[in-house]
Structure 1
Amino acid sequence: MARVAVLHNTLDFQGGADAVCLQTCAALAADHAVTLFTISETDPEALATRFGVSLGELTVVTPRGNGPLAKTLSAAAPWTGPQLAFRSVLLRRLFARHADGFDLAVSTANELALPLPSVQFIHYPQFRERRRRLGVDPDATGGPSEWLNECWSRLAAPAAGEPANENTLLLANSAWTADVVDDTYGVRPAVVHPPVDQIDCSTSWAEREDGIVAVGRLAPDKRVMEAIAVVDALRERGYDSHLHVVGSAPRSYRRYAEKVAETAARREYVTLERDASRSRLETLLCSHRYGLNMKPREHFGMAVAEYAAAGMVAIAPDSGGQREIVDASHRFDSLSGAVDCLADAIDSGEPPTASRDRFASERFRAAMRGAVARAID
């Protein structure tokens, strides 16, 4: 049994990365002494219940004044912009005081320079933003956040080529993300898709509603407002479509969440459900035919994978890691393209044919246990 530290900068976004963190803790707890280091308002056990994860014995270490610190960071987010890299700098400083008590570190919140052997699961590189703008991501705009990121990179990022050393094992959530990591650091991680279990649905395809469900954080990058615009356009074409928006509203995105709520309230065919229980989410997924994601260059897309796991037709942008989930005929590159995709799917009325258990959590857990075993050896 090894002493394993799991590092996760925050659980407060309550999204796919956090599910990866909690599943990793659960996967390792049977064989190792696991301690979670994080800076979060969110209680890990409460979030695990929402995700359907049983954590078992888990020690949690947070900084002194964790509650006020996490609350302040979340409250400041509308003005400070992206914070994950900065939170990771703080997390690394917290862990450095305890590192001697561990055999291995597992980062489930992207890459970090760490003083001991590690497994690092990358959803998308959090450092070296300027390098990505110049060589990888033509849509990035630079600006003050880029230079702040350079500062955080100097404090906590691995050096170029460092993640390839024998003490660091890198994993990525999709082949697309692995390519970005390769371009940024000069090493390509192995791909381990995040955990999404098949959802057992008793409702047949014929009995499902011709409605649309959009699941995800109520945040600008998820483009929830655009999802509403898509349904507006569908109805203008004569389709009697409706939309369920299902998502959490972290403090960081409260202004955007308020805007979504106001927009939904003006439409009788749009329903907003915040912080829905797992059973309610599965009920919605199993009773509707179409799942919509509007975020381009999604690093993987756990909500998209859940659509597939529930036997829905998943509709998503033709970019990022979600290309590994969604059929080409159901991908789009513009808002009008999303309308066309949904209209075509409704007109055909055909159910999806893709496997519903491609991303089972046991496959993920086995991969993480194997990666930790290799790193310890």
Structure 2
Amino acid sequence: MLASKQAQVVVWQPYFRGGGAEAVALWILEALQDDFDVSLHTLANVDLAKLNMMYGTHLSEERIEVISSIPRSLSGLAYSAMAKSEIIRMGLVYLTIHHLKKKSLQYDAAFSAFNAIDMGCVGLQYLHWVRVVETSPEKAPLWYRALMKWVDFSYESLQDNVSISNSCYTADQVKKTYDMDSMVVYPPVVTDIDALPWDKKEKAFLCSGRLVEAKSPHRVINILKAVRQKGFEVDLHITGGGGGVYANKYQRSLRKLIQENSDWVHLHQDLPYADYLKIVAKCRYGIHWKPEPFGISVAEMVKGGMVPFVKSKGGQIEIIGDDHAEFLSFSKDDEAVQKIVKVLSGEKLQESLRQSLEKRKKLFTTQRFTKQIRDIVYEFIENKKVC
């Protein structure tokens, strides 16, 4: 059967609370809405116009049918409860899976935009990481096993799906975890960044992400403090937010450290996205301490014309490219100091890195992403397996 405008595709994204996974889900919908009859299966009704403004999509209520598992009147209560309880959050996720599995056979293709799941038929799944929705039976707590039993969750069905990973690094973990192969489609940087010319950019670093210990902005401050002690008067812009009540203790110590270095460290918490992009546009350098499955903020740094320094393990290496790892990746903090000092000391090296990184921008465009997703769905429907 050849895919046509009449082919029906359901995309599953359990909730929209902001973040990279939601951006990918929306751009999957963007990729498919003109060529297929598309439905979005999610927890609660969504405001497509608002999401379009946030993520640069052009989703239309006339083209996208939204199927929600709970009434609109309960959405605020549900999202509030999800933020406070992991059990409630996963319970609501499994509620959407329960409803999806009842309807998935009605479509020509079912597509999980939120990691690996059993959809009740052979479908497609985009993996940001492994063991996000399910967990191994031997490690699952009782309540988790009860949820999986409720929806008759099948690991075999999960493994039969056509899988897409957000990086080669994630694809390796998918193979180790599920013993299944996956194609790599890099997430898109959803907004064009109007970067300033290099000579007009600040001699400043950007550290972007949630203000939690795992992201380690305190380590970034200490790394750049050591760089400054070697004679390089760089500033640091820290952007981010989130973390919830569990991050309060860490954020108090982080703010104390920022205050102690307030002459050169600038905190921008919970910025509107447009204001965040202005900071991306004006910084010369970026630094990201935590290894990531992909690392969308690092891709934004590259799109913004920055020279980013990253951990030597994780998907962010694929963003900067293996040929830049010698200069821009580090395994330990003291190594980061050494490499940053070397790059800052050499104008010719900086120019060479900038010109080479410029070529990598095309890897993370929305145009490339939507074409790859569309082609994969066409091929899936044309070669559809029997559920």
Contact 1:109 1:121 in 2 (8 A): yes
Q: Which amino acid aligns with 2:77?
A: P
Cα deviation, residue 299, structure 1: 0.4
Contact 1:220 1:256 in 2 (8 A): no
Aligned partners of 2:14 and 2:251: how far apart in 1?
A: 26
1:127-183 Cα deviation digits (max 9, x unpaired)? 66559xx9xxxxxxx8xx778766666667975554453xx2110011111111111
Partner of 1:344: 342
Aligned partners of 2:250 and 2:56: how far apart in 1?
A: 25
Structure 1 unaligned residues grouped into runs of 5+: 135-141
Q: Which amino acid aligns with 1:30?
A: D
Matched, 1:307 2:301: yes
Moved more, 251-260 or 3-12: 251-260
**Residue correspondence of structure 1 range 258-277 to structure 2 within 5 A:** 258-259=251-252, 260-261=254-255, 263-268=257-262, 269-277=264-272
1:4-62 Cα deviation digits (max 9, x unpaired)? 222123322x2222211111111111122333233479855434422222222333324
Partner of 1:137: none
**Quick check: which has more Rg, 1 or 2?**
2
Aligned partners of 1:189 and 1:261: how far apart in 2?
A: 41
TM-score calculated relative to the size of structure 1:
0.82
Matched, 1:324 2:318: yes
Matched, 1:366 2:371: yes
Contact 2:195 2:305 in 1 (8 A): no
Matched, 1:27 2:21: no
User: Over the residues paired in the alignment, what is the CA RMSD in angstroms?
Assistant: 3.2
Structure 2 unaligned residues grouped into runs of 5+: 1-5, 383-387
Matched, 1:75 2:81: no
Aligned partners of 2:265 and 2:54: how far apart in 1?
A: 24
Contact 1:74 1:252 in 2 (8 A): no
**Residue correspondence of structure 1 range 210-289 to structure 2 within 5 A:** 210-249=203-242, 251=244, 255=248, 258-259=251-252, 260-261=254-255, 263-268=257-262, 269-289=264-284
Contact 1:211 1:241 in 2 (8 A): yes
Cα deviation, residue 238, structure 1: 3.4
Q: Which amino acid aligns with 1:285?
A: V
Contact 1:111 1:158 in 2 (8 A): no
The alpha-carbon distance between structure 1 residues 15 and 340, as it changes in their structure 2 partners (threshold 3 A), is: farther
Matched, 1:104 2:104: no
Aligned partners of 1:300 and 1:109: how far apart in 2?
A: 15
Contact 1:169 1:371 in 2 (8 A): no
1:184-213 Cα deviation digits (max 9, x unpaired)? 111110111111268454522122211011
The alpha-carbon distance between structure 1 residues 26 and 197, as it changes in their structure 2 partners (threshold 3 A), is: closer
The alpha-carbon distance between structure 1 residues 6 and 128, as it changes in their structure 2 partners (threshold 3 A), is: closer
Identical-residue share of aligned pairs (%): 25
Cα deviation, residue 250, structure 1: 6.2
Structure 2 SS opposite 1:325: helix
The alpha-carbon distance between structure 1 residues 198 and 308, as it changes in their structure 2 partners (threshold 3 A), is: farther
Contact 2:117 2:134 in 1 (8 A): no
Paired residues in the alignment total: 358
Cα deviation, residue 324, structure 1: 0.8
